Structure 1
């Protein structure tokens, strides 16, 4: 164990629906660098929810002849990426989002029937039944993607944090708070140029992948295949898509699966900005990851109540905090990974 504060650069990103990542650049010969080994854990500011697993090390020499070490990896939630949902039949469960997510983490990471799949230092926090009720099923899918899809469908976050008192990594959900200008229960948080607390903004509103009516195809072949329609729309505003839900057991489950898949083809509305430390709102006290806040840009005609889905803390000579709100824009890698998973599910 070592305390390191003399690094050149550290970026730590937390995400609401999936695990985040970190990256540190530091001179190879500084105190404590020998502790930055793969599978070791870094903790930011001794905060148990800000921890990551070192999975990557690179040593290089810069133009000044200084040897620099780069380490990076996922936040602790990245451990879910080490399991798939191994089961002979589909692992089906219905309940609040928290119950469903903790069911899969328990079955495939904590108390798997195969003892070699168990991670002894993992634990679930007590299940408080938070989130909307949902049915779910999975078979041979990446556990991290299953939990992410449940989180996105139910609009509830999750994290893995350290608990020194029980010497465990603890999986738990993160509901977030409503801090928008239109509510009165909590002090509202508004990010706007008018308040000089945000800059370097970008706003995206896209319907390119949006579909609002789906034809969910269940079991059977050709004319015998069970089809259920989900969603609604009329005229030119109706945007249809076929949804392969062949693993559904009956019509009711087919409708549930169809709605879940249709929801992934939603409008993308996202906002990115750099937070200015003007003292108007204090990070991790007045607002944090998962909170729903109000963003305004009068010049752009944008007023948006949206959830903070990503927070990036950048520790450099010019330290800063960057946030993302709304939908995450899928990358090519994420799309390909999702398509691969869909193929496996339908096999």
Structure 2
């Protein structure tokens, strides 16, 4: 491996002018790269006069095709340990400011944006990093390169947030990634949006990537799940109205309900849900595999960050398909190792603190609380109706609702709900409580049946309300019961 070291960049300079030195005397190198977010590295070098004098904070490093930004240098008598981030860390250095009137017509530090995901991302990049009104805020030689549309209709409301958080939220919601890399030819740092490829066992377009012990491409795997930072009930206040926004279509209750309050400061009620979900996008449950893989040179050629691949669990024998979220490579004189995180990664502390800081204290503006549900991709009844199809996770239809009101927020209406668990009914609006009528397997709930059941000839009557069975007439076999020992007992009618 060859390490090239550059001084910190300036707007009018070039990589050639900024070059300091290069060396192949490397003790070890570890780098974690993320599909969405800022990666980090640790580089260990032997002490030389050259290293001591020239490696300082904000240097740019180029090693093993990776572009890195130095944050800290620690030296002992024999070693220098250099740590920092990849160039995505450029976005950690800026916040989102306004400078013009926002949606309420005043300077309130909010910067709203709507459009495709890439147009939202580029909007915040231009205003806060690449083409800022204040030249002192401009990130030297940073330009926008490859764009990926993401969601067709996206939105965000930034308020003095780290630019890295805003871009990560938008990209994560749209399931696209990004990276900042150096380009020697143009002397620029290029921001590229990335789209993963489905290479899982479920598709047939691309050669599938499957990790398993039997295939010989897997050293070990470690499964993890939990909800340490999960937020699923968001009390979002905007336009003097508070709405309860749920992350999924199942309304959480009991200890499964994780609440947070935020102020989204939008000017229409219709925008509250979109902005609330955007602002809390980092707070999701963790469900991931960390795998140590063989044939590490396949990374970057046969598969990459953001691709969907399949892991076969050596304990359960089951297959699990998810996106490659992180890749950590470790290189030393004695070893070369690649570890992948597949699935959903844990929320970073920065996102958690940011969301807590947005908690609204405007209790006096909370005048109404009602359920919010996703109509962005509702197939029928997006604007109301007695029959509505409701969208849930991944904007896929999840429930069919039949109501005696054309407004889902009517609290005293009767609602029939057909979903993945079966058919249920509520007599007090969409929020329930619901009574199960028929489960998804076709079994009728006993609590759903009431009244009187009568045989065709009227001689056998079962009164469910009074819990009685009446047999009118004789010589009629009314009931047969088989005991645990196999004995059959027959109950007969009489006059």
**TM-score relative to the length of structure 2:** 0.61
Using a 3 Å threshold, how does the CA distance of structure 1 residues 261 and 303 change in structure 2: closer, same or farther? farther
Q: Partner of 2:74 in structure 1? A: 58
1:75-95 CA deviation, whole Å, 9 max, x = no partner?
011011111111144211112
Greater Cα offset, 304-313 or 193-202? 193-202
Structure with greater contact order relative to length (CA < 8 Å, sep ≥ 6): 1
3-state SS of 1:179 partner: coil
3-state SS of 1:196 partner: coil
Q: Partner of 1:11 in structure 2? A: 30
Greater Cα offset, 79-88 or 205-214? 205-214
Matched, 1:95 2:115: yes
Greater Cα offset, 87-96 or 239-248? 239-248
Q: Partner of 2:371 in structure 1? A: none
Q: Partner of 2:479 in structure 1? A: none
Please state how far the C-alpha of 1:151 moved relative to its aligned partner.
1.8
Pick aligned residue for 1:183 from 187, 203, 209 = 203
Rg larger for: 2
Please state how far the C-alpha of 1:261 moved relative to its aligned partner.
4.8
CA contact (8 A) 2:263 2:358 kept: no
Using a 3 Å threshold, how does the CA distance of structure 1 residues 234 and 340 change in structure 2: closer, same or farther? closer
Please state how far the C-alpha of 1:319 moved relative to its aligned partner.
1.1
Pick aligned residue for 2:342 from 281, 300, 325 = 325
Backbone CA RMSD of aligned residues: 2.7
CA distance in 2, matches of 1:128, 1:226: 34
Structure (1 or 2) with the greater helix fraction: 1
Using a 3 Å threshold, how does the CA distance of structure 1 residues 187 and 31 change in structure 2: closer, same or farther? farther
Q: Partner of 2:61 in structure 1? A: 42
| Structure 1 gap ranges (5+) | 62-66
Matched, 1:26 2:45: yes
CA distance in 2, matches of 1:153, 1:217: 21
Using a 3 Å threshold, how does the CA distance of structure 1 residues 306 and 345 change in structure 2: closer, same or farther? farther
CA distance in 2, matches of 1:16, 1:2: 30
- For 1:269-288, what aligned pairs fall within 5 Å after superposition? 269-277=287-295, 282-288=298-304
Matched, 1:121 2:141: yes
Residues paired across the two proteins, number: 331
- For 1:223-238, what aligned pairs fall within 5 Å after superposition? 225-230=241-246, 231-233=248-250
CA contact (8 A) 1:192 1:296 kept: yes
Please state how far the C-alpha of 1:112 moved relative to its aligned partner.
1.0
CA distance in 1, matches of 2:229, 2:159: 26
3-state SS of 1:145 partner: helix
CA distance in 2, matches of 1:102, 1:226: 30
CA contact (8 A) 1:2 1:32 kept: no
1:169-202 CA deviation, whole Å, 9 max, x = no partner?
1111111111110101111100111212112321
- For 1:277-316, what aligned pairs fall within 5 Å after superposition? 277=295, 282-316=298-332
Pick aligned residue for 2:186 from 166, 169, 175 = 166
CA distance in 2, matches of 1:342, 1:234: 23
3-state SS of 2:354 partner: helix
CA distance in 2, matches of 1:315, 1:54: 18
Matched, 1:258 2:276: yes
**TM-score relative to the length of structure 1:** 0.86
Matched, 1:77 2:88: yes
Please state how far the C-alpha of 1:301 moved relative to its aligned partner.
4.5
Using a 3 Å threshold, how does the CA distance of structure 1 residues 98 and 345 change in structure 2: closer, same or farther? farther
Please state how far the C-alpha of 1:267 moved relative to its aligned partner.
2.9
Pick aligned residue for 1:137 from 157, 181, 184 = 157
Using a 3 Å threshold, how does the CA distance of structure 1 residues 207 and 78 change in structure 2: closer, same or farther? closer
CA distance in 2, matches of 1:30, 1:179: 48
Please state how far the C-alpha of 1:159 moved relative to its aligned partner.
0.5
Using a 3 Å threshold, how does the CA distance of structure 1 residues 242 and 78 change in structure 2: closer, same or farther? closer
3-state SS of 2:26 partner: coil
